[in-house]
Amino acid sequence: MSLFTYKADELFKWLTEKEDIFVVDVRNKKDFAKFKVEGPYPFELLNIPYFEFMEFEKECIAQLPPDSKIRIICAKEASAKYVAEIIYKNGFDDVGYLLGGINT
């Protein structure tokens, strides 16, 4: 696969159909604590703020399960795109980021 964008309705479909995805929310801890993506079934969700990827790239990458379908979300899209590019260049081949951000 490759680096790609996806829409909120696709994320909803993956979560309701129990798709095997790993969601990384790159918003700051404060915003993540206020609300986060939820689904009707349990799914893998990790909060790693984008600035941590800037400072501690290898440590952040090490927290991600290899060979996973990684889906990145952020507030408005730009940070998710930035982090998705980092993850992709580190050998993950199925990486998508939410078009328009979490508010969509």
pLDDT in tens, 13-47: 999 999 999 999 999 999 999 999 999 999 999 99
Tell me which of 3, 74, 83, 95 is the catalytic residue: 74
Q: What is the pLDDT of residues 65-92, one digit of tens each?
A: 998 999 999 999 999 999 999 999 999 9
Asked if pLDDT for residue 1 goes beyond 80, the answer is no
Sequence-separated contacts (24+) of 52-56 with Cβ below 8 Å: 53/26, 53/82, 53/83, 53/86
> What is residue 104's predicted lDDT score, i.e. its pLDDT?
85
pTM: 0.95
Active site (annotated) includes residue 60: no
Q: What is the C-alpha separation between 88 and 71, in angstroms, rounded? A: 11
